[in-house]
């Protein structure tokens, strides 16, 4: 399962990239608005840091507008993936872009039927939002299970991006189900490393190491 970082913050992207575990980045208008920078300049910088799929979202709500934005964004870099909302106009746009060879990420998916529709029209990725479903009393990971089964039943190549994850258990459950990607914010990704027994064990090892006798370094004789 691939890990994508869900942010537009350059410092977070650089730090997570240094860990060697991220395979791509997903952005959205909310993330971009926090950075106070030109959208295209920001996306191009992200592409220069991470060598993997970089999702950039359109803001038009009609097919013609989405296509115009998508084609402009796709010219920025070979790794650009166009995020498109899963609405009728968006599904129409995904169908056209797929035929043109432009990679797409169908976003704001909250039902298995929505995930089914975008796979039928050739979306590269589908992004079911699990955390938001949990927040309104639905089982978010059930959507991932249903989507995985549908795609496997019919041999769809569309990759499942588990989105809106809230904690490391979402990441673990996604991996056990067989999702292709989980995208997460910096804080959740950082938590993947954490375990109290690791901290306790390291503290003990370092404390015990201080008890090990150390040879005094010998001064070198002058020539």
- Which positions are catalytic? 83
CA distance 78 to 62: 25
- Alpha-carbon span 158 to 138, nearest angstrom: 24
Beta strand 80-85 pairing with 24-26: unpaired
- Evaluate whether 12 touches 41 at the Cβ level (below 8 Å): no
- C-alpha distances out from residue 111 to 101, 117, 118, 197, 201, Å: 26, 10, 11, 38, 43
The β-bridge partners of 181 are 2, 161
- Mode of pairing for the β-strands spanning 2-6 and 181-184: parallel
Cβ pair 147, 128 in contact under 8 A: yes
Q: How far apart are the first and last CA of the chain?
A: 59
Among candidate residues 155, 125, 108, the one with its CA nearest the CA of residue 4 = 125
**Neighbouring residues of 217: CB distance < 8 A, sequence distance ≥ 6:** none
CB 198 within 8 A of CB 219: no
Residue pointed to by tokens 């994508």 = 4
């Amino acid at each position: 399962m691939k890990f994508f970082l869900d942010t537009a913050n350059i410092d977070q992207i650089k730090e997570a990239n240094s860990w060697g575990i991220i395979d791509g980045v997903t952005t959205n208008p909310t993330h971009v608005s926090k950075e106070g920078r030109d959208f295209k300049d920001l996306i191009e910088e992200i592409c220069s840091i991470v060598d993997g799929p970089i999702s950039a979202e359109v803001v038009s709500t009609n097919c013609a507008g989405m296509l115009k934005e998508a084609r402009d964004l796709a010219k920025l870099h070979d790794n650009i993936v166009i995020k498109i909302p899963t609405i009728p106009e968006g599904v129409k746009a995904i169908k056209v872009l797929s035929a043109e060879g432009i990679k797409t990420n169908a976003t704001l998916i909250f039902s298995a039927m929505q995930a089914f529709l975008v796979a039928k029209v050739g979306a590269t990725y589908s992004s079911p939002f699990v955390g938001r479903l949990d927040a309104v009393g639905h089982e978010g990971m059930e959507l991932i299970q249903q989507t995985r089964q549908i795609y496997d039943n019919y041999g769809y190549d569309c990759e499942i991006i588990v989105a809106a994850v809230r904690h490391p258990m979402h990441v673990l459950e996604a991996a056990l189900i067989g999702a292709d990607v989980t995208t997460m914010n910096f804080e959740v990704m950082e938590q993947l490393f954490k375990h109290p027994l690791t901290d306790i064990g390291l503290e003990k090892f370092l404390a015990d190491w201080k008890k090990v006798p150390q040879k005094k370094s010998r001064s070198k004789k002058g020539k």
